[in-house]
Amino acid sequence: MAFPPLDRIVLTFLLMACLFMAGRSWLRDHPQHDPWTPLALDDPAGWATSRKLAALRGDAVQCRAFLDRSGITAMALPAAGEGACRRDDRKLLAAPAHFDVALRPGGAQATCAIDAGLAWWLRHGVQPAAEAALGSRVVGIQYLGTANCRRIGGGDEGNWSEHATGNAIDIAGFVLADGRRISVLRDWDATGSSPEVSGFLHMVRDSACTSFSTVLSPDYNAAHANHLHLDQAKRSGGWSACR
């Protein structure tokens, strides 16, 4: 039986309305896929996670709200530095302590986006990888630095490093609850370490690519042989570099 034109329009509208309501209901039950739902640390990773994390890189207010919701200290420090090295977005990194992880040396300062990236990485990348690959949790992270007023490569010319504004952190190693110490320099290559330890380092590198804008590892070049460089560079479209 054919419906009159007006009836077809009404039926089409009702069908679309039903689909829309069903979709909104599904998104409410799966907030990790909903780009309009604020990022929550305990949500599983979803279609919208990378987009939500990218949004924190250019919005310190939104970033601090995420840390507050996550129970992580989000208090900002006064601005410091001058020119290309002025650090307007500056805070003590608090995410590791939230997960009972000691960041060494202590007192690290970086941007809110770095702290937010560490929070997501520890919750969804580092700890699950450590337990799955090594049967123990990470209790300590050794880092080489965050803020350093320099250009990429350390020369007098070229683009400024994300370290110049404290928008990066270099991770050199991990300490496990069972006492084992894992070094990026020593353990990245499975020929100089066990497959499990090397595999763990590759897993945390890969998972960092969701949390950070740039991830550079020993696979990138010799300058990164002893650390994982993680930064939150703001890029149009939210694309990331992971090597």
User: Please, what is the end-to-end C-alpha distance for the chain in angstroms?
Assistant: 60
Query: Does residue 180 form part of some domain?
Result: yes
- State which residues form the domain around 158: 55-242
Say how far residue 206 (Cα) sits from the centre of its chain.
Answer: 11
DSSP secondary structure letters along 130-156 = HHHHHSS-EEEEEEEES----BGGGSS
For residues 210 and 3, the model is more confident at 210
Query: Does residue 18 form part of some domain?
Result: no
Query: Does residue 128 form part of some domain?
Result: yes
> What's the total number of domains in the chain?
1
Query: Does residue 197 form part of some domain?
Result: yes
Q: Give the domain CATH number at 77.
A: 3.30.1380
Query: Does residue 68 form part of some domain?
Result: yes
Exposure string (b/e) for 181-196, b if CB count within 10 Å is 16 or more? ebbbeebbeeeebeee
ω before 105 within 30° of 0 (cis)?
A: yes
For residue 38, count other CB atoms closer than 10 A to its CB.
13
For residue range 32-50, list pLDDT tens digits in order: 779 899 999 999 999 999 9
Residue recorded with tokens 């500056």: 90
Query: Residue 7: pLDDT above 70?
Result: no
Q: What percent of the chain has pLDDT over 70?
A: 87
Query: Does residue 7 form part of some domain?
Result: no
Q: What share of the chain is helix, strand, coil (3-state, %, to 5)?
A: 45, 15, 35
In this predicted structure, what is the pLDDT of residue 17? 56
- Residues in contact with 199: Cβ distance below 8 Å, sequence separation at least 6, in sequence order: 133, 190
Query: Residue 51: pLDDT above 80?
Result: yes
Query: Residue 27: pLDDT above 50?
Result: no
Of 239, 238, 241, whose CA–CA distance to 229 is shortest?
241
For residue 92, count other CB atoms closer than 10 A to its CB.
16
For residue range 57-77, list pLDDT tens digits in order: 989 999 999 999 999 999 999
Instruction: Give the C-alpha distances (Å, rounded to integers) separating 149 from 116, 153, 178, 217, 235.
Output: 22, 12, 37, 21, 21
Query: Does residue 40 form part of some domain?
Result: no
SS3 48: coil
For residue range 191-243, list pLDDT tens digits in order: 878 999 999 999 999 999 999 999 999 999 999 999 999 999 998 777 789 99
Query: Does residue 231 form part of some domain?
Result: yes
- Residues in contact with 128: Cβ distance below 8 Å, sequence separation at least 6, in sequence order: none
For residue range 140-165, list pLDDT tens digits in order: 999 999 999 999 988 889 999 999 99
